[in-house]
Structure 1
């Protein structure tokens, strides 16, 4: 019998669901939901996250709000290798490139999404078939004062570049814990952004990502 997929009514219920999922393989979970598994993730980048959203009853999809807005919780799956090492950066949200005058860190989507995160580690070793990759124990995390400060500092620095029409100068090396990177299927995709003289120009969409050493620290604190 399939589990009811209503969204959990409390953080306790959400954590119970996440904990009962730990130890299962992606193949078992997909089979349980009657979902066909892709052979690999090359063309199905968000597949693991979508499967876990389905199991946990997440509502937001790609909306710029938390996955469990009614609980104030964002959901993030994070691929790790068998030694517990984080394998890639974590996408947070699209970066605003226009209409940003007066926008503060506290009002930003990044700040809002990272208030409270449910991390679901998933085995990501490339040599392990997708269906055999196991889901790990969930971690409910809220940034410490120090972590919030670092995130805010990076966000403000990056947004300053954007507001001065210098988004093209920001590389993945900027920021201690947060980085800005192109976020599109390919480099032909363009969006409006602020130009050097304040005029509108066209550039590739950008996204905010958490650096691996930051998420590694979150996982290490709790394991």
Structure 2
């Protein structure tokens, strides 16, 4: 696979490389990367101290046709049931082809972490259901946030308007926030609190 000079235009390249090497089957489908194992694969760029350098994309957020959608049957809940975190050196001064891959960790959220995720998801989905998706900022949520998810601001999708009709807005995605005070196990972040 050709190695990009940098990841400005190839943001998902490292993740795609790891998925290909490990035989992940989901691609861009809305399911876990290793459906037969119940495992989602997430690469995470880290600094020299093992701290995450950015938030982690989980999945696209549904902005309409959400009647009957609950936390338990949401894609966010499904994808975060069991995650194989693969840390990658992510500091920009390290050429992409020279970045090292850290020791992966298989993580399952604790009941407390699941509660935090569900609480944030439900709060965000309430904004979406009330037609207030444009009022959700990255500051909403303790561990999960909603942010624009598109190559540029011209990409549009349908969402619920405040009067219940449909309107056009930028696509959104769910992201795990970077913790303000990380907790470490073997030098790598494994939980939110």
TM-score w.r.t. length of structure 1: 0.82
Counterpart of 1:210 in structure 2 is 176
Is 1:61 matched with 2:16?
no
Q: Which moved more, 1:174-183 or 1:97-106?
A: 97-106
Report the Cα distance in structure 1 between the residues aligned to 2:150 and 2:16, rounded to whole angstroms.
19
* 1:52-84 deviation per Cα after TM superposition (whole angstroms, max 9, x unaligned): 001110000010000000000000000001111
Report the Cα distance in structure 1 between the residues aligned to 2:115 and 2:33, rounded to whole angstroms.
23
Counterpart of 1:89 in structure 2 is 55
The structural deviation recorded for 1:221 is 3.3
Alignment of 1:43-122 (within 5 A): 43-122=9-88
Counterpart of 1:132 in structure 2 is 98
Is 1:153 matched with 2:101?
no
Is 1:123 matched with 2:111?
no
Higher normalized helix content (fraction of residues): 1
Report the Cα distance in structure 2 between the residues aligned to 1:108 and 1:119, rounded to whole angstroms.
21
Higher normalized strand content (fraction of residues): 2
Aligned pair in 2 of structure 1 residues 118, 215: CA closer, same or farther (>3 Å)? farther
The structural deviation recorded for 1:36 is 1.2
Bigger Rg, structure 1 or 2: 1
Report the Cα distance in structure 2 between the residues aligned to 1:115 and 1:143, rounded to whole angstroms.
7
TM-score w.r.t. length of structure 2: 0.94
Report the Cα distance in structure 2 between the residues aligned to 1:197 and 1:136, rounded to whole angstroms.
49
Q: Aligned match of 2:162 in 158, 180, 196? A: 196
| Secondary structure, aligned partner of 2:179 | helix
Report the Cα distance in structure 1 between the residues aligned to 2:180 and 2:15, rounded to whole angstroms.
20
Aligned pair in 2 of structure 1 residues 72, 215: CA closer, same or farther (>3 Å)? farther
Counterpart of 2:185 in structure 1 is 221
Aligned pair in 2 of structure 1 residues 189, 58: CA closer, same or farther (>3 Å)? same
The structural deviation recorded for 1:120 is 0.1
The structural deviation recorded for 1:156 is 0.1
* 1:26-75 deviation per Cα after TM superposition (whole angstroms, max 9, x unaligned): xxxxxxxxx11111111111100011001110000010000000000000
